[in-house]
Structure 1
Amino acid sequence: MVQPSTASHPGDAPGGASANSDWRLRAPFAILLVALLWAAQLVNAASVITATAQAQIAQYFHTTQIAWYSLIYVLCGTLLLPFVVKLGDMFGKKRIMIVVIVIGLIGDVISALAPTYAVLLIGRAISACYVPVAPLVFATARDIFPARRVGTATGIIGATLGAIIAVGPLIAGFLLDNVGFRGAIWFVSACTAVALLLVIVLVPETPRRAAGGFDWLGGVLLGASIIALMYGVSQGSVWGWLDARVLALAGGAVVILLGFVLVERRVAHPLLDLPMLSRREVATVLSAGSIVQGTAFVAAAIMTVVIPLYPRIPGVSDGLGWSAMQGALVGLPAGVVLFVVGMAAGASTRRFDPRVPWLLGVVITMAGLVAAGFYHHNAVQIIATGMLTALGAGMVYACNPILILSAVTPREQALASGMSLMLLGVVITFVTQVLFTVLGSHSTVVKGTALYLDAGYRNGYFVLAGCVLIGLVVSLLIPKLRRPADIEAGTAAAG
């Protein structure tokens, strides 16, 4: 297991100086919270805004491989997660956040200027460097806020995803309709720059919780396993799910993962804390959270974009043919519900078992997806089913980080959040590929662009609901957890 470092480091708190010697720790709660939630939601804002541009990008570059626009982002971000989280524990989370945000900003600029689809994908891969910022933010919140505010801060950071989902498509719609998809990507670049400034100016440095040393062999094995698995999944719809190459990649991923486990049990400074991951509360919380959140994300990022923005051509395409702004306005009520419910659900967990709103949210999310499978043919239906799904998703997004807080110690926070996002990336990749396979089975290719029929949309929603059902089954296995009021804060927290 990784042990906290007892050495003092200049600029660290608590190291040689008192934690309260950093003026940032004495800043008002709201100011620190804004800085953290902006950085944490950076990846979600980038995902929501750029996802809205997918339809325009596919038609601009005449590609049938638009799925890779999201997949390469998720793949690279997932691969980086354990390394970045470990480095944050070794060198301080603020320092590492600054580095990865700067690299991500470079990727945003490359994407905005990309002359070809291949260059755009390269930019997206580089932008994925700021995906690991979120687990570092949640761990930082636990370090710098007092115990009585940790649950509230974490719930608010998670719940603000609703605001992103509500406002993001409106901004993207305006930009897409007036200056095209490049304008949307430039806006994401500006948001990244603001996140960088806020982290530099407002966020204090955190204690270094890991001893020196880096498990390079374990990192290589884990990375190779993730790449083999996710690439195999991504090619399943192309080669066939029972193709020998897909099965070989899946089998190879399992073998490499077993090698990683053997290495982690023997090295002095392991990359992952395997005893922590083997605990029932941690295993069930991370698994259920990744399955349900990943599925809800795919539904929002793909179905609510493809159906409104793809053209309506009888017998060829059953999209609604709306403008980006019209699609955003129709989706606005769901975004508002997601935000309001998320804030309320986060607050409710302060006194109650966080599993209760979580389970309720999972059930409602599943019901909303089933309803959307039947009713997605006009604005009224999309608003109604979207609000129902958002009612559940708001509870899910707000409660998941609180469940993680309740299941781990301060030392384990960054690692657990990182593992949650890593599993989330695997789920998003798998569900995305399955969804595009279902959509593709009822599609027509016109000028290099795949256009989908209503049967594909209907079955796609039913598949998403089935994935949430799996998450519900896992959720029922989560044992009783600590209430947020009883959560231990980090050693850098001010009273």
Structure 2
Amino acid sequence: MSSISPASLPVAETRAPRPGAVVAVLAYAGITAALMQTIVVPLIGQLPELLDTSAANASWVITATLLSAAVATPISGRLGDLYGKRRMMLVCAAVLIVGSVLCAVATSLTPMLVGRALQGAGMGLVPLGISAMRDLLPAEKLGSSIALMSASMGIGSAFGLPLAAAVAEHSNWRVLFWAATGLAVVVLLLILALIPATPISASGSFDLIGGVGLTIGLVCFLLGVSKGADWGWDSPLTLGLLAAALVVLLAWGWFELRVTDPLVDLRVTATPVVLLTNVASLVIGLAMYAQSLIVPQLLQLPTSTGYGLGQDMLQMGLWMAPGGIMMFVMSPLGARISRARGPRITLALGAVVIAVGYLLAMTLMSSTWGLAIAVAVGSSGVALAYGAMPALIMGSVPLSETASANSFNTLMRSVGTSVSSAMVGVVLAQMTTDVGGVTLPSKGGFTTGFVIGAVAAVAAALVALTIPTRASRTAESRIEHPATEPLEA
């Protein structure tokens, strides 16, 4: 396939990076991108009226972001390897701005969906930022910075909910999206001003056929999983989408193994460290998301149920916020553990801490402060695990695959969260109780959901412990010594 070759691009002037500024800008970019995932949650009940549509159609406002983030992440990662990570971060920031403006001015469903899809595409900032840190930061700052950047997804989501709820409650809903636009503009300006050009480590052309194939396969799979509960798990549409996903992704894998410049180098992803880290990432995504689905419902259910805690949307967000704070606090600790014991141990430890968080949730679910403690503990485990994953990945892949490998790992987490959403949704839909003529998830359903999260976290810890020890020990040192490559323009 003919394409612009990275080698033909002009070489940028070398600009010495300022480590503190690089970390601050990239972490802010990641948090801003993650904010977009939860910014509409307080509006879900109002969207049918605001956009003159049905509740079923309005649910696509969240689904569109999920789908676009999953599809855009591996594609932007590969483009970052080919044409420069800084350049692609600027593209992601620009897309985020356009999407936020569209949402702010939307008066109907279609422009809102387009805007939300563009906001989801901005999630490529996170893996691109992690990969750029490998090129721009000194060795002594790299581990803690990567851990913070990786945790930014959870930090942004945790803080986005109470902020969005406060704005939605006390101001016009469009202010949410104009604020998102302002945050994204700042991201773009900061990257332009403070992030130097990064080395172009890959050669070849972009695999357009592979990109299209992965997009079709992912959309079919994620649609089937995320909408299966609404459409019926045995409906022809759900089963057809899942079957199509299987066929398309198998064909995509066959093609990727035979193309000269694949979108995802499956031979690299099949190496033990990368493969097992991606498996652990998928299971960690499944484990951690159960908490995000269950705890908000418990907090907001009426006290008349006997187990609901009667909080409004803003109060619920504030009780969840300590989780984001703990992710910020625990990220540097995870980096120190990785340096001393290896990221494999940090990943396993993080999974165990997540499991402990679920055990606490089961025993403390009758009080708001108890759930806040459980969320804080579980989020601490997520921070440890999320910081270890990119260290393992980047310590085991060639420089030419850094961004695409990180993006694929991020995709695995997204797949895990989608599967978690489907599993917990089925449990809560099946285990119900009648309260004043209204069918609600039962206390047993919530407890079962916590058990699923705990079991998944233990499984992730066991997978992490199977990652080859030698590679785990050398992961930190390998990401600290990138080779010199031509710089992007």
Would you call these one fold, judging by a TM-score over 0.5? yes
Aligned match of 2:115:
123
Tell me, in whole angstroms, the C-alpha distance in 2 between the residues paired with 1:352 and 1:399: 11
Unaligned runs of 5+ in 2: none
Does the C-alpha gap of structure 1 residues 485 and 272 become closer, same or farther in structure 2, counting only changes over 3 Å? closer
Tell me, in whole angstroms, the C-alpha distance in 2 between the residues paired with 1:196 and 1:106: 12
Equivalent pair of 1:375/1:382 in contact (CA under 8 Å): yes
Q: Match for 2:244 among 241, 247, 252?
A: 252
Does the C-alpha gap of structure 1 residues 194 and 431 become closer, same or farther in structure 2, counting only changes over 3 Å? same
Aligned match of 1:28:
18
Q: Match for 1:435 among 421, 424, 429?
A: 424
Aligned match of 1:403:
392
Q: Percent identity at matched positions?
A: 25
Deviation at 1:399, TM superposition (A): 2.0
Aligned match of 1:9:
9
Q: Is 1:344 aligned with 2:333?
A: yes
Aligned match of 2:62:
70
Per-residue Cα deviation, 1:222-274 (whole angstroms, up to 9, x for no partner): 22211221122123213443445433332322222222222223322221112
Q: Out of 359-368 and 234-243, give the one that drifted further.
A: 234-243
Structure 2 letter corresponding to 1:360: L
| TM-score w.r.t. length of structure 2 | 0.86
Aligned match of 1:15:
none
Tell me, in whole angstroms, the C-alpha distance in 2 between the residues paired with 1:466 and 1:65: 34
Structure 1 letter corresponding to 2:30: A
Unaligned runs of 5+ in 1: 13-20
Tell me, in whole angstroms, the C-alpha distance in 1 between the residues paired with 2:156 and 2:249: 35
Aligned match of 1:366:
355
Give the secondary-structure state (helix, strand or coil) at the position aligned to 1:351. helix
Equivalent pair of 2:73/2:411 in contact (CA under 8 Å): yes
Tell me, in whole angstroms, the C-alpha distance in 2 between the residues paired with 1:380 and 1:187: 30
Give the secondary-structure state (helix, strand or coil) at the position aligned to 2:340. coil
Structure 2 letter corresponding to 1:39: A
Structure 2 letter corresponding to 1:43: A
Q: Is 1:274 aligned with 2:266?
A: yes
Q: Out of 209-218 and 413-422, give the one that drifted further.
A: 209-218
Give the secondary-structure state (helix, strand or coil) at the position aligned to 2:411. helix
Q: Match for 2:35 among 30, 42, 45?
A: 45
Deviation at 1:413, TM superposition (A): 1.3
Give the secondary-structure state (helix, strand or coil) at the position aligned to 2:7. coil
Deviation at 1:362, TM superposition (A): 0.4
Per-residue Cα deviation, 1:317-373 (whole angstroms, up to 9, x for no partner): 964332343223323433333322222112232232122222121012012123324
Structure 2 letter corresponding to 1:307: L
Deviation at 1:64, TM superposition (A): 5.5
Residue correspondence of structure 1 range 35-434 to structure 2 within 5 A: 35-51=25-41, 54=44, 63=55, 68-116=60-108, 119-160=111-152, 163-164=155-156, 167-179=159-171, 181-297=173-289, 299-300=291-292, 302-308=293-299, 310-312=300-302, 314=304, 319-434=308-423
Tell me, in whole angstroms, the C-alpha distance in 1 between the residues paired with 2:215 and 2:148: 32
Equivalent pair of 2:99/2:117 in contact (CA under 8 Å): yes
Give the secondary-structure state (helix, strand or coil) at the position aligned to 1:132. helix
Per-residue Cα deviation, 1:119-145 (whole angstroms, up to 9, x for no partner): 533321121121212111111111222
Equivalent pair of 2:6/2:204 in contact (CA under 8 Å): no
Tell me, in whole angstroms, the C-alpha distance in 1 between the residues paired with 2:364 and 2:62: 26
Aligned match of 1:491:
483
Structure 2 letter corresponding to 1:226: L
Does the C-alpha gap of structure 1 residues 234 and 339 become closer, same or farther in structure 2, counting only changes over 3 Å? same
Tell me, in whole angstroms, the C-alpha distance in 2 between the residues paired with 1:35 and 1:452: 42
Deviation at 1:221, TM superposition (A): 1.8
Over the residues paired in the alignment, what is the CA RMSD in angstroms? 3.2
Tell me, in whole angstroms, the C-alpha distance in 1 between the residues paired with 2:417 and 2:59: 11
Does the C-alpha gap of structure 1 residues 430 and 293 become closer, same or farther in structure 2, counting only changes over 3 Å? closer
Q: Out of 158-167 and 326-335, give the one that drifted further.
A: 158-167
Structure 1 letter corresponding to 2:254: L
| TM-score w.r.t. length of structure 1 | 0.85
Tell me, in whole angstroms, the C-alpha distance in 1 between the residues paired with 2:443 and 2:112: 30
Equivalent pair of 1:366/1:469 in contact (CA under 8 Å): yes
Equivalent pair of 1:151/1:485 in contact (CA under 8 Å): no
Structure 2 letter corresponding to 1:440: A
Query: How many equivalent pairs are there?
Result: 475
Does the C-alpha gap of structure 1 residues 125 and 168 become closer, same or farther in structure 2, counting only changes over 3 Å? closer
Does the C-alpha gap of structure 1 residues 162 and 247 become closer, same or farther in structure 2, counting only changes over 3 Å? closer
Deviation at 1:281, TM superposition (A): 0.5
Equivalent pair of 2:283/2:416 in contact (CA under 8 Å): yes
Tell me, in whole angstroms, the C-alpha distance in 2 between the residues paired with 1:485 and 1:289: 22
Tell me, in whole angstroms, the C-alpha distance in 1 between the residues paired with 2:31 and 2:484: 23
